[in-house]
Amino acid sequence: MSTEEIQGDLMEVPVIFKTKDGNKKYTVREMPGDVLNEFLRENQELAEVLTDSKGKIQVKMANFDQLTNTIPSLLKRCLYDENDEIIPFDAIKKMPQRVQKRLFDIAQEVNAMTKDSADKAGNLLTGTESGTDSHPGSTAPLPDASEKQV
């Protein structure tokens, strides 16, 4: 049996948030397993989690108030400012919805919460690669960590 190398550092994606007052730099960081599990437990009763035809997680909410809290609920665990401080829930909720949604999409990719990113990471949360015994810690490529603009 060959030795498998596992990248142990958390994935990070730098993000530039452009405003009329200037640019703000953020980092969307992969969550440790216990933090991801906390998010999933916190949101399991609020929504039905579905996967679309492209493998992207779609959350079917019982009402609009739940949707407005689910996105910041994920981001409050993985969105950091340029001083490496976590962005508070209330600050995230004040961001434009399209910005929250884009950051949410990036956070899903970085945390292997979409079928495609889970397959690449071998994450058992959302499934495994068809025809393989994919597993957490795989050395498969993760999302592009180049700077994103929102």
In a domain, 2, yes or no: no
In a domain, 19, yes or no: yes
Distance CA 27, CA 17 (A): 10
Tokens standing for 23?
């640019």
Span 26-50, average pLDDT: 82
Q: What is the span of the domain harbouring residue 76?
A: 12-128+137-149
H-only helix segments in the chain:
33-43, 64-75, 89-93, 97-110, 115-121
In a domain, 1, yes or no: no
Please determine, for residue 122, whether its predicted confidence score (pLDDT) is greater than 80: no
CA–chain centroid gap for 77, Å, is 9
Contact criterion met (CB below 8 Å) for 93 and 85: no
Model confidence pLDDT, tens digit, residues 63-118: 555 556 788 999 999 999 999 999 999 999 999 999 999 999 999 889 888 766 65
Q: Kind and range of the H or E element at 15?
A: strand 12-19
pTM, to two decimals:
0.67
Q: How many domains does the chain have?
A: 1
